[in-house]
Structures are given as structure tokens and as C-alpha cells.
Structure 1
Amino acid sequence: MKKFKWIQMIAFVSVLVLLLQGCSTGNSAEKENKSGKETASGDKTGGELVVVRLSDATGLDPHFITDIPSANVVHGKVYETLLAFDKDRNFVPLLATEWKQVDDLTWDFTLREGVKFHDGTPFNGEAVKATFDRLLDPATGSPQKDKLGMISEVVVVDDTHVTIKLSTPYAPLLSILASNEGSILSPKMIQETPDELATHPVGTGPFVFDSWKSGQAITLNKNKDYWGEKAKVDSVVFKVVPEDATRLAMIESGEAHISDQVPVTEIERIENSDKMSLFRTDGLAVEYLGFNTTVAPFDNVKVRQAISYAIEREAIISGVYNNVGTLANVAMSPQVFGYSAEVKAYPYDVNKAKELLQEAGFDKGIKVKLLTSDRKERINMAEVVQSQLKGIGVDVEIQVMEYGSYIQQIENSEHQMLIGGWGNATGDGDYNQYNLFHSASVGAPGNHFYYQNPVVDNLIEQARVETEPSKREEIYKEAMQIEMDDAVYVPIRNYELLAVYSNNVDNFWLDASNYLMLKDVTVK
């Protein structure tokens, strides 16, 4: 009898072991590891992906986001657009499966079926209409309104078809619809709790918003009910780590996996590491020294021109940026449609700078303030500018602020000079010209120069409605030349985008707009 019980016990334990193995391996003989599961085919899924970044987001509502670091948290992750860019910047279907231009003022879109927002609300024509109605409603107060202000009406044909009607032709329409500004929001949130979208985004994307601990971390979880191919990781944590050295150490140790803010001084260390890799690609962004043209002494064009002549831009590219990126000649990247190499920046000429300052009545010197965010390279650039301008009698006081405070300051016109950058989310020159230089974009939308020139406004508006590409390019060239003559800014650098990632990470890339592409990322 005892022997029979012992045999029963052995059999029970054997079955239990098999059951436990079945639970751990799943139906496809997956093997557990610390960060996820490995299938029989070798694909790795699951685990937590940690992205470390210098600063926190400033907000998560696409209708109010005006900076790429904030958009990077939600664009393509929580929120989706009607169409998207592929790696070659071609348009591909997303929430819309097809689209066609009926005439200069009419676009028809066929919508994807079976898609739901994270709150269970169905995605349909009414959701598209609710999104753009909110964006365009003056009562919303969106700084993004003018980017799609030519939309006169969104007509819901049925659940899967909408027509977008324009008041005027708009050449870059599709590029804007594919960008963060074209994100489709939950109509339930828009109707019931629109203010909560700033801190609790609800979209249709492959990741669902989980939490935001201000100044610390934002967490997104895998959308298990996603309509398309599901994300490979279980969660993404955007962790705020202000110190450059700490972020890099976290990548090297495996505590974190990705950082898209890489000190140029650390490139050699990363490339020589057997634990980290460097992603590099030409970007659509530009970096510049800008003037608030409405405050003294920069309301005087001769002062702005003097500063422009006194900046040795090549020294900044080599000394500060270690030749990462290229010397800019205008506030538009060579990768962007509408760029012109024929518009020339001011050459380095100290004598001309002194002469202009004297003509402006500042021959006895001048004191100014230069505002920058707390990114290391920007601080270094500010110090170089400070040194260079000292040579013409300009005493520069550097103001360094955390990114959120920096954005607030420039959006409130509380600066004299600034070191800034402008990312382009569309690849079209309108995104640079309208946002940086049109008088309607003064303040939060992007015109932190507070520059207003009716001639430039008219040219930018002409380019928006012109459908012939070569004519648009000529219009942009004319506008950029006037902006250069008015010395609104000093172009410094065309971005080369950098990201460091752990060798335990696969399928990661940055697009040309500097968006982190995370849906297909796996962690070993």
C-alpha cells in the first residue's frame, strides 16, 4: 500500500512539473528571461523598456504640445494619425486606409474599421471630426490651430468615410496630418474631460498611458487590444535623469536602455563600448541664436546685425559640437523641402560688428542677457557666444533654466537673446517658416523672435497655397533672404540626431524628426 502511495506521489509531482513548465513556456515553447520571453523563432517580447531623458514633458495634449521632447512621449505611442511617415518619409496608411484629393479644396479619407480608443470608444468619422473641431475652435486656444487653420469643415459621410474641406489650397496638408498635430483624440475625453488630456492622454496607439510622476517618470503600458501588430515590450518608462554622465552610466549598466540626448563629448566612449551602440542620422532640425526683436536693444536691426557679424559659427560647430551636424545657413535644414543654399548667413567680421554697434549708438558697450536651457552643449555654446561678443564690447549675462522654465520664459517674451532649436515634424518648409516667422505664430506656436513683417507674412501665406513645388521654393528663398537681412537670428547648426542604446535592445531607430520609434523594439 505504501509503495502504491509513493508511486502516486511521484506521478503527481511529475505532472505538476510538466504543468509548471507549460505555464512558463506557453504554447510556443517560450523561454523566460529577466526582461521578457523568447519564442521558438528567436523573437523577444515583454519586459520594461526604460528611456532616460534630460527633462520632463511640458504637457501631453497634442493640441497644446509645441516641443518635440513632449511630443515624443505620445506621438506614435499613445496617439495615432490618419496617415504616417515610413523610414523614407513616404506617406503610409494608419488610421486612414486610403485618401484622395478630389480638388484643390477637398480631400476624402477612408477610415480603418474595428479600431477602439483606450477608453473603449470606437474610432470613426465622428472621432475625426471631434478632434479637428476642438483643435480649430478659438475657445480651445490651441497654439497649433493655425497649422491646420485652412480646414473649413470636416464632413462625416459615415463611420468609415470623412471629407476634409479647405478654405484655401494647402500644399503641406498631408504632412501636418501625419505629424503630432494630426493626432486623433478620444471623443469621449474631448466631450467629458478635455482638460485632463494634458495629463492623461487617450488615443488608439500601441501603448496606453499609465501614470505621470511629475519630474520623475511617465509610464506607458502595452495596448493588449491594439488593432494592429502589438508592441513587443510590456511597458515603456520615460525617466527624467538630468545628469548626462548618469544617463550614460545607466545605459552602460543595463539599468536603462535608450537615451536620445547624447553629449557629443561621449561619442568616442559609446563607439568603443561593447555594451552600448550609437544611432546617428541627419535630422530635420536647426539650431540658432535668436533675438527678441521687440525688446531693447534688439529692437534695433543694426544691433542684431552687429551680433550676427561677431559670431564665429564655425568655431561653435567644431569646438562645442565636435563637428556633429553641419553649419547652417538658414533656419531650415537641407533635408527640408524649401531649403535654399543661396541665402547666406552673415560672415564673421569683427570690424563690421563694431562699426554697426557704433552706428546704433552703443560705441561705449552694451549689456545683454542670453537665455538657454540646461542642456550641456547649449550651455557651452552660450559660453562661447559670451566670449566672442566680449570682443566687440557686448557684455553677456548667461541665464540657464530647466527646460520647462525655459519654454515658459520664451513663450512669455521674457528674454532678450536665446539659444534655440526648431525641429521639423513634416519635412516641409511651411513648418519652419509659418511657425518661426509668421506674426500669427508669435509666442507659444514658435515665433520666439516676436518678429512681425507683413511682407514675410504674405510670402509665407503665398507658399501655403502654391501647388507648384518650384514656385514654392522661390517664395521660401525670398522670405528667408528678408529674414536674414532683418537679422532675426544667427543660424548655427543643422542637426545630426544621436541616440545611445543598450546592446540588449533591438529594432530601435529615430526618425528624421527625432521621434523615438519604439513599437517594434525588443529587450533581451
Structure 2
Amino acid sequence: MNKTGKAIGLALALSTAFAGMAMAQPTEIRIGVALEPPTLDPTAGAAEAIDIVVYQNVFEGLTRIDETGSVQPGLAESWTISEDGLTYTFKLHDGVTFHDGSAFDAEDVKFTFDRILAADTTNAHPEFYKPITAVTVIDPLTVEFTLDQKIGRFLFDLGRGDAVIVAPESADNNATQPIGTGPFAFTQWDKGSRVILDAYGPYWGEPAHLTKATYVFISDPATMTNALLASDIDGTNNFATDALAVFEGNPQFKVLVGTTEGETILSTNNKKPPFDNLKVRQAMAHALDRQAIIEGTTNGYGTPIGAPFAPHNPYYVDLTATYPHDVAAAKALLAEAGLPDGFSATLKLPPVAYARTSGQIIASQFAEVGIKLELINVEWAQWLEDVYTNKDFDLTIVSHVEPFDIGNYANPDYYFGYDNPEFQALIDKLNGTTDEAARKELAIEAQTILAKDAVNGYLFELAQTGVWNAKLEGMWQNSPIEGLVLRDIHWVE
């Protein structure tokens, strides 16, 4: 071959190589999220922002919840349940390691649940696991749970972010240096900016398609819009509904509209006058125009609710007609409560658009019946301290995103302070029932009690409105549990 032929051959080879490089599928993703997590340990905080980053990505439980809300095997490959429903025996996967290289075994499971149940626990929801009386290591790959009562949703509870398995060697540092068993390992956290996860090479299960995921914190919807349009990020799992029109019909993007477990409520301090008066709470319920709130806050994407249950849940019952919007009825009830001229109250609003917009609309609606609201904007840290922990509030607006969290209403020490022994007994019965038909009947009864007692102002169910690069697949359309699971996300041509 002459020099010209060699040159042409080399040029063709280089052209083919560069074309192959250009066509190679990307393996990294940058995801915009509105809220930065306060910690990266899901066993030590209630904020959804924690699970968005680490649930099923960095940390795993004995079971896991899939996109349909069903329970799947996690670190436990199988389990058996005794006839009386009080003993669960789990067979663990072999060859699992934590991201620091240490081996996972039954002792880690025991440590995790002993920690959850300890008197000084920092777990957000230890009540889910209080019926556990013993966690016994049978052998390194077998662990037994003994309960003092049947829990119909026990396997589901084991799949929550609250129950991910941690190791005694690293548990104390998980807030800032999380070490789990998941398909992604924590790499770095640039406070105020981003968290980076890298695929964990020795992962015990099917490896992820992605090699890296970067969570970028962008609280402002306009900034999020610009970042998407400029390809600075590849998607976001829950985008501001008032800006979705920018992306609908744009072939560069796909908009995924699904359901969440986010019951948005006007949380009420039931122990504080005048909210300890049922007639006052009924009056507030009549004063609420849910459809106006939904249109003004979510551009019509929310679903009205009359109780704290997601409409997609098989146990859901529509109770929105319990207290229909009726200004005259609200005024009459206030008069019966001895407040014919209404009253004044404060409404503390966390830094999310749905809360602050809903707050303005509700303040206007309440003014029609004589209830004058002072709107107080607070940051999340202040909200968690003042409202959630210290119960220093009159009213607030927040979305409760934990699945099947109706049991919170059976806890009189929970932040909205509802104390009803009849309801508490009903939830105990529900928790001990495993028959699905019976559970549904009890769940409907529980929802009905809460609706009639107007414990909180039940507003709407948040929609999940994701905006993603059109070449991405594998994102969850629905969100039956807190999290943004990376497991199946991948790029396509």
C-alpha cells in the first residue's frame, strides 16, 4: 500500500473510532432536586430530602418497595412467617458488603434494630418497630424477629428508609459519610451545592446502568428551568407545575406525571385553643375551597382529599364531601363555638411553593368567615424545631409523604396533638390484622373518623411531575414511597 492509501486508511480508522466515541452511551446523570437533605442518614431524620438521595441507592433494607408500592426482597432473599404471625425468619443474601468493604451479616441486622428500639434512638419513626421484642441471630445469614403482636404491614415497614441496614462500625458517621450496601456509594457532599454518588463495583445485586449520579440542589423553579434547558442537569423528579408548559411538547424532554404519597394538609394544633373545639375545626373545613387551592397552587395537578390517604391506595375512600365548601355553615359553626366574630391565628409556612401559595389562598378563604391569619415564612430547620418538635404553632401547611402514615394520628404526642382513644384502639386493631379485606374495612373506618373530627384541613394529594431528558428511561412515574431510585435509570438512543 502506498503512502496515500495508508493515510486514507488511517483517516478512516480514526473517523470510525471518533464516531464510536460520539455514539457511546453516557453513563452519568445529573439530577436537580429542590431541597438539600439536612443529613444523609435516613434512620436519623424525617425529611423526604434524605431518602431522595440515599434510599435504595446508598442504603438498603431487608425488603424494598417497588414502583407499584409492592414489597420485594431486599437484603433478605426470602422469609417465612409463623402461623401465629409473630415470628419472621429471614434468609439473607450471601456475599454482600458495605461500601467500606466490611461484610454484611445477621449481626448488622440485629444492631440496626437494637439501635432503632434503643431508649435514646434518633429514628424518626421507632413506633413502626416497637412490637419487635427480639431480634435473634440464628447464623450469619439467618435472622429471626419476634413480635408481641401481629403487624399487617410489617414487611412493608421493613422496606422503609427508617429501617435500612447500617453497620456498627460506620453508623455514627452516616449523617455526613453514609456507608450502606446499595448499588451506589457516597463520594462527596458539597454543602449547598451537590451530592455525588458513584456506582459500587462489588455490589451484590444486579449492577446499575449508571456509573455516577450527581444530585444538584436548586430551590428556585426558574433556575431549575434554565438548568434543564441548558442541559446543566438531565432531569428532576418533581418539577414546579406552573412551569411544565415549557417542556410539554418539547421533543428534547419527557414529562412524567404520576401520583405520590404526599397528602398536603393544613396541620392543626389540636391541643391549643380554639382548635381543641370540634366546631372550630369543622368551621375551618367548611371554609376551605379545595378546588381553588388546587388550581392556584398546583395548576390543577393535585387531587382533592378528605382524609390522610393517597387516592391510588386500595384502602382509599373519597371523604371530600364530609365538609363541603360552605361559608355560611362555617360562620354558623364559629358562632356556636362562641366566636361569632372569628379569631386570629398564625400560619407557619415552610419554604416550598405549595405551602406558601396555599397559605395565601387559605388566608383569603378564612378571612371570608372571620378567621384572620398571620402568615409566617420559616426555613425547614426552624419548621422542624418549632412545629414538628416543639409543637409551637397554630396552623401550618405541609405534605406528609410517608406511605400508610395514618398511624401517626394514634400518637397523641405527634405534632398535631390528636388524642382519641377510640381511634387509637382502631389503629391497634388494624395493625394486628393481616386479612386484606378486613384491613381495608378498618382503614376506611379510620379515615372516616379523622374526616368527621376534622383533625386537619385535608387539601390535596401532590402529583409527581418529573421532567427528564427524552433519552432517559427507567425513572419512576409514581412515588409510592419517599425516594428517587436510580436502579433502573439508563440512557437510550
- State TM-score, norm by structure 2: 0.91
Corresponding position of 2:100? 119
Change (3 A) 1:221 1:404: farther
Corresponding position of 1:506? 473
Paired amino acid for 1:160: L
Corresponding position of 2:312? 335
Q: What is the Cα deviation at residue 523 of structure 1? A: 4.7
Deviation by residue 1:58-93 (Cα, 9 ceiling, x = unmatched):
222222221322211110100011122333333322
Q: What is the Cα deviation at residue 137 of structure 1? A: 1.2
Corresponding position of 2:294? 317
Corresponding position of 1:91? 71
Confirm whether residue 414 of structure 1 aligns to residue 413 of structure 2. no
Corresponding position of 2:324? 347
Corresponding position of 1:298? 275
Which range is displaced more, 272-281 or 306-315?
Answer: 272-281
DSSP 3-state at the match of 2:67: coil
Deviation by residue 1:112-157 (Cα, 9 ceiling, x = unmatched):
1111001111011111111111111112242321111111111111
Query: Is residue 51–residue 484 contact of structure 2 (8 Å, CA) maintained in 1?
Result: no
Unmatched 5+ stretches in structure 1? 1-6, 39-43, 426-430
> 2: CA distance between counterparts of 1:213 and 1:410?
28
Confirm whether residue 148 of structure 1 aligns to residue 137 of structure 2. no
Paired amino acid for 2:102: T
Query: Is residue 345–residue 491 contact of structure 1 (8 Å, CA) maintained in 2?
Result: no
Structural mapping, 1:60-459, within 5 Å: 60-103=40-83, 104-190=85-171, 194=172, 196-341=173-318, 344-411=321-388, 412-425=390-403, 431-435=404-408, 437-439=409-411, 442=413, 447-459=414-426
> 2: CA distance between counterparts of 1:261 and 1:88?
18
Report the number of matched residues.
484
Paired amino acid for 1:95: L
Corresponding position of 1:4? none
Which range is displaced more, 178-187 or 159-168?
Answer: 178-187
Query: Is residue 460–residue 479 contact of structure 1 (8 Å, CA) maintained in 2?
Result: yes
Confirm whether residue 492 of structure 1 aligns to residue 492 of structure 2. no
Change (3 A) 1:320 1:505: same
Corresponding position of 2:31? 51
DSSP 3-state at the match of 1:320: helix
> 1: CA distance between counterparts of 2:320 and 2:250?
41
Deviation by residue 1:361-409 (Cα, 9 ceiling, x = unmatched):
3223321111222222322211110111111111111122233433333
Corresponding position of 2:486? 518
> 1: CA distance between counterparts of 2:299 and 2:194?
31
1:470 to 421, 434, 437: 437
Paired amino acid for 2:454: A
Change (3 A) 1:474 1:509: closer
Query: Is residue 286–residue 327 contact of structure 2 (8 Å, CA) maintained in 1?
Result: yes
DSSP 3-state at the match of 2:322: coil
Change (3 A) 1:206 1:45: farther
Aligned identity (percent) is: 26
Q: What is the Cα deviation at residue 482 of structure 1? A: 2.5
DSSP 3-state at the match of 2:82: strand
Change (3 A) 1:343 1:278: closer
Q: What is the Cα deviation at residue 111 of structure 1? A: 0.7
Change (3 A) 1:89 1:376: closer
DSSP 3-state at the match of 2:298: coil
Query: Is residue 85–residue 178 contact of structure 1 (8 Å, CA) maintained in 2?
Result: yes
Paired amino acid for 2:117: L
Q: What is the Cα deviation at residue 339 of structure 1? A: 2.3
> 1: CA distance between counterparts of 2:320 and 2:355?
25
Query: Is residue 268–residue 275 contact of structure 2 (8 Å, CA) maintained in 1?
Result: yes
Confirm whether residue 32 of structure 1 aligns to residue 9 of structure 2. no
Query: Is residue 42–residue 50 contact of structure 2 (8 Å, CA) maintained in 1?
Result: no
Which range is displaced more, 509-518 or 489-498?
Answer: 509-518
> 2: CA distance between counterparts of 1:377 and 1:352?
27
Query: Is residue 252–residue 275 contact of structure 1 (8 Å, CA) maintained in 2?
Result: no
Q: What is the Cα deviation at residue 223 of structure 1? A: 0.9
Unmatched 5+ stretches in structure 2? none
Which range is displaced more, 412-421 or 503-512?
Answer: 503-512
DSSP 3-state at the match of 1:32: helix
DSSP 3-state at the match of 1:286: strand
Query: Is residue 150–residue 431 contact of structure 2 (8 Å, CA) maintained in 1?
Result: yes
Q: What is the Cα deviation at residue 342 of structure 1? A: 5.7
Query: Is residue 382–residue 398 contact of structure 1 (8 Å, CA) maintained in 2?
Result: yes
DSSP 3-state at the match of 2:88: strand
DSSP 3-state at the match of 1:517: coil
Q: What is the Cα deviation at residue 497 of structure 1? A: 1.3
DSSP 3-state at the match of 1:168: coil
Query: Is residue 81–residue 178 contact of structure 1 (8 Å, CA) maintained in 2?
Result: yes
> 2: CA distance between counterparts of 1:418 and 1:337?
28
